[in-house]
Structure 1
């Protein structure tokens, strides 16, 4: 049997944890269940991660930083309209292809409400870091699209990015609870139109 590196084994456990959380909930995602899902020894999981909390923090990171890296690349030199359209479509296509990732993300974001009071502040900080990461990367994409379009400065790309991310979240939650691809596709197109309008509106 080929030897699995510690890095690859850690990734296996993170991906397995994401699947278990989506299927059974964060509370039921024991290290034993995660190891079984990864088809790896429990001892190997404890070698890679000192605790379940450490593993869950790595799942957070995987669903934010690694999620963004896994998306198809943007077209070089894309205009602001093309950037918004491509980014919305690539996120939505990923959600349709890997819905468990969104379920796991929602489970982890809401996990703080099930924790003791002293643990909630740390969980809130992790949630904030995730959203700030998504918003920052989205705003940077939009700024680059605006620069490619030679648009004047002065737009609040951060609030536009918050709106974009919040709407994607809402459409995703609605679709996961009551799947309707035609309706969801129309909502994504409405999001694209609204975001483009926000970019071009001058207060």
Structure 2
């Protein structure tokens, strides 16, 4: 087996874990099945991750980073502030539609972490990451467009996290993409109304 830098090997194993957990579910995915999915020995897995918590944290971070990158690229300034906000939501939604299994996995991981003693902090970290992400995206948008918020950034960040979380889960359960798009349009209108361009 070719030697690979540790960081690259961890990325390989994290990607394999995402594929395996998306396909088989968290409870049925073992370290052995992840190693097999990645095409490496179990000892390589244990060299890269010293605990299941470390692996699950890497999985959550990787999935979040993927869609954050997509949204970040989408929220470049448009003709209007409303269009800019809409583009961010649309990019997020396109990611959900293209990768529903990964988004379903994030909910499964949340439940797993809340039920597994000693893993609760992973669920809290996951939701803190969502709020931190929206805070960062709002700050980045503020560097591109001169605006003021009618509510504090932390409040809007928590609102955005709660709204997108709810719309995503609603879509995963009901499978109604048109209804989800309508809700996102309403959220876009509301959020755009909380941002005043200078």
User: What TM-score does the superposition give when structure 1 sets the normalisation length?
Assistant: 0.81
The answer for the alignment partner of 2:54 in structure 1 is: 54
The answer for the alignment partner of 1:38 in structure 2 is: 38
The answer for the alignment partner of 1:135 in structure 2 is: 131
The answer for the alignment partner of 2:116 in structure 1 is: 115
Mean Cα displacement is larger for which, 146-155 or 190-199? 146-155
The answer for the alignment partner of 2:155 in structure 1 is: 159
How far off is 1:72 after superposition?
5.7
**Helix, strand or coil for the counterpart of 1:73?**
helix
Change (3 A) 1:75 1:64: closer
How far off is 1:83 after superposition?
3.4
| CA distance, structure 2, for counterparts of residue 193 and residue 58 of structure 1 | 34
Change (3 A) 1:153 1:115: closer
Q: Deviations over 1:94-127 (max 9, x none)?
A: 11111222112111111133213xx1xxx33332
| CA distance, structure 1, for counterparts of residue 122 and residue 165 of structure 2 | 17
**Helix, strand or coil for the counterpart of 1:84?**
helix
Change (3 A) 1:67 1:6: farther
| CA distance, structure 2, for counterparts of residue 162 and residue 154 of structure 1 | 14
Equivalenced residue count is: 195
Q: Is the 8 A contact 1:81 1:145 kept in 2?
A: no
Q: Is the 8 A contact 1:83 1:145 kept in 2?
A: no
| CA distance, structure 2, for counterparts of residue 194 and residue 24 of structure 1 | 38
Higher RCO (Cα < 8 Å, 6 or more apart): 1
Change (3 A) 1:56 1:145: closer
How far off is 1:11 after superposition?
1.1
How far off is 1:2 after superposition?
5.7
The answer for the alignment partner of 1:181 in structure 2 is: 177
> Aligned pair 1:85/2:114, yes or no?
no
The answer for the alignment partner of 1:190 in structure 2 is: 186
The answer for the alignment partner of 1:105 in structure 2 is: 106
User: What TM-score does the superposition give when structure 2 sets the normalisation length?
Assistant: 0.82
Q: Is the 8 A contact 1:80 1:146 kept in 2?
A: no
Change (3 A) 1:9 1:146: closer
> Aligned pair 1:126/2:118, yes or no?
no
How far off is 1:147 after superposition?
6.0
The answer for the alignment partner of 1:96 in structure 2 is: 97
Q: Deviations over 1:134-172 (max 9, x none)?
A: 222313333454565533466312212212221111111
Q: Is the 8 A contact 2:74 2:88 kept in 1?
A: yes
| CA distance, structure 2, for counterparts of residue 53 and residue 180 of structure 1 | 34
